[in-house]
């Protein structure tokens, strides 16, 4: 195969540097060819080789490779300025095309070419996962991440995703991944998972055609009689299996993203609404679509804001009224850059859900106590209201919530003011 000769010629001898770095140099040289005219006839072969080279890089090689991508595959500053002048002077299609050509970093074409190889998409997702790690110490790599994110966001457009129901007839290879990824309420092996797939439960996941059998995100649903105040009965392995046609409420009790390399590319909004809509059509008896959600940032915020944090079940129990009030305040009044502080609240309120109810001791696990004194919260998705709720949130920076929650939040004002006088440990 002629491509072999070409590759050998390209990779030349890069003898003095460490092995990983030499491999990264070889990869970079190969990518240069891949995006040149010469890469057209043998693009598939070169892309395959590039993916293999990338996957074989060690940590040093990856670091070197990312730096090269950041430095050597960026737009030319003079060319950009020239094209911008031309477009500014005369906004013709040709000038615009030229501008786009020089303003787009060459690494985007690199990624598109690598994607042509079998397994290319999976390799790019892995690359982004590793890049996100590398970025912690090398913020200059952000530009590379920007391009990868742009492409992956475009490729994982909702229109290309497939919603699949997960049940006990699903291949074990997929179920195994749910067990591995589920973070909110850990799944203790296949028997535990099986209970979560019985007829009074549902599980749905988004898949992408290029990542066969690899879920992107999944949601777990339980059918219950009413808005749930406690997560334990939902997770109980031994519970009796209910009749889905008699349930009034569908609880989204866990939503899990599976691909760290797709972080920030949001599927959850679509997933919840699509599933709510489909369940509504299938089971007209369902009247309430709601979550039972954690409040991950509550305890840390309380400690910081009030300078104290109740410890131990007894103390927590004694502080119930105060803690509930603080939680209501935290979820509705604490904003930063146009969003509420709590990440889970941000997600659901941004999607147009309504903050319905605080549930005392809804998650009495160690983790639940440590995060939020055992408090959980219901967000309600009323498909007829999400647009209005969303606008309230986005435009007027107001959290749509029930009267009970609002009352609690107002009651918190006193606690907050008195606390403000106290010096906090985290200023």
User: Considering only residues 290-349, where is the footprint of a second copy by CB under 8 A?
Assistant: none
Residue 398, phi then psi, degrees to nearest 5: -125, 135
306 sits in which H/E element:
helix 298-306
Q: Which of 19, 158, 245, 398 binds a second copy (CB under 8 A)?
A: 158
d(CA 72, CA 66): 10
Binding mask 21-60 for a second copy (x = CB under 8 A): ----------------xx-xxxxxx---------------
- Span interacting with a second copy, options 10-18, 83-91, 234-242, 412-420, rule CB under 8 A: 83-91
- Give residue 34's Cα distance to chain centre: 31
> How many chain residues are in contact with a second copy, going by CB under 8 A?
87
Can residue 282 be called a binding residue for a second copy (CB under 8 A)? no
**Of 20, 61, 105, 244, which lies in the binding site for a second copy, with binding defined by CB under 8 A?**
105
In angstroms, the first-to-last Cα distance of the chain is: 65
- Which of 210, 227, 411, 419: binder of a second copy (CB under 8 A)? 210
Which of 16, 189, 417, 421 forms a contact with a second copy (CB under 8 A)? Answer: 189
Exposure letters 147-167 (e unless 16+ CB within 10 A, then b): bbbebbeebbeeeebeeeebe
How far, in Å, CA of 372 to CA of 153, rounded? 33
- Residue 139 interacting with a second copy (CB under 8 A): yes
Smallest distance, a second copy to C-beta of residue 74, A: 7
Binding to a second copy (CB under 8 A) within 57-76 occurs at 74-75
Looking at 307-315, 317-325, 377-385, 414-422, which segment touches a second copy (CB under 8 A)?
A: 377-385
Q: Are 255 and 272 in contact (CB under 8 A)?
A: yes
Give the DSSP H/E element, type plus range, for residue 392.
helix 386-396
Instruction: Measure Cα distances from 109 to 19, 41, 283 in Å.
Output: 26, 16, 47
103 binds a second copy (CB under 8 A): yes
For position 387 contacting a second copy by CB under 8 A, the verdict is yes
Query: What is the phi-psi region of residue 119: left when phi exceeds 0, alpha when psi lies from -120 to 50, beta otherwise?
Result: left
Among 12, 19, 142, 424, binds a second copy (CB under 8 A): 142
User: Which residue, 79 or 419, is less far from a second copy as judged by CB?
Assistant: 79
Binding segment (CB under 8 A) for a second copy, from list 99-107, 223-231, 296-304, 370-378: 99-107
Give the whole-angstrom CA distance, residue 367 versus residue 383: 32
């Amino acid at each position: 195969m002629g491509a072999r000769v070409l590759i050998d010629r390209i990779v030349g001898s890069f003898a003095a540097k460490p092995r990983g770095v030499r491999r990264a140099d070889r990869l970079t040289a190969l990518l240069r060819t891949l995006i040149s005219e010469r890469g057209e006839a043998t693009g598939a072969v070169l892309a395959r080789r590039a993916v293999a080279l990338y996957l074989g890089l060690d940590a040093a090689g990856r670091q070197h490779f990312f730096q090269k991508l950041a430095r050597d595959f960026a737009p030319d500053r003079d060319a950009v300025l020239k094209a911008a002048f031309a477009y500014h002077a005369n906004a013709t299609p040709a000038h615009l095309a030229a501008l786009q050509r020089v303003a787009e970093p060459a690494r985007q074409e690199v990624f598109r070419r690598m994607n042509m190889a079998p397994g290319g998409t999976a390799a790019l997702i892995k690359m982004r996962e590793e890049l996100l790690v590398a970025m912690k110490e090398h913020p200059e790599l952000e530009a590379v991440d920007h391009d990868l994110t742009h492409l992956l966001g475009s490729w994982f457009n909702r229109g290309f995703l497939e919603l699949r129901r997960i049940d006990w007839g699903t291949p074990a290879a997929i179920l195994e991944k749910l067990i591995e990824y589920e973070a909110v309420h850990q799944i203790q092996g296949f028997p535990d998972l099986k209970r979560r797939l019985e007829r009074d439960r549902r599980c749905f996941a988004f898949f992408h055609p290029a990542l066969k059998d690899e879920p992107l995100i999944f949601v777990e649903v339980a059918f219950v009689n009413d808005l749930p105040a406690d997560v334990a009965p939902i997770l109980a392995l031994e519970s009796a299996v209910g009749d889905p046609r008699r349930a009034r409420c569908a609880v989204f009790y866990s939503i899990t993203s599976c691909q760290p390399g797709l972080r920030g590319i949001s599927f959850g909004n679509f997933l919840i609404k699509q599933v709510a809509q489909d369940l509504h059509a299938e089971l007209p008896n369902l009247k309430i679509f709601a979550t039972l959600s954690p409040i991950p940032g509550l305890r840390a915020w309380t400690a910081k804001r009030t300078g104290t944090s109740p410890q131990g079940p007894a103390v927590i129990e004694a502080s119930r009224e105060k803690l509930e009030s603080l939680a209501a305040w935290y979820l509705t009044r604490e904003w930063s850059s146009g969003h509420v502080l709590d990440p889970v609240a941000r997600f659901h309120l941004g999607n147009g859900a309504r903050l319905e109810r605080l549930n005392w001791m809804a998650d009495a696990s160690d983790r639940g106590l440590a995060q939020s004194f055992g408090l959980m919260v219901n967000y309600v998705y009323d498909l007829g209201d999400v647009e209005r709720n969303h606008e309230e949130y986005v435009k007027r920076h107001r959290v749509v919530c029930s009267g009970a929650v609002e009352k609690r939040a107002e009651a918190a004002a006193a606690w907050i003011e008195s606390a403000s006088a106290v010096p906090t440990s985290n200023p």
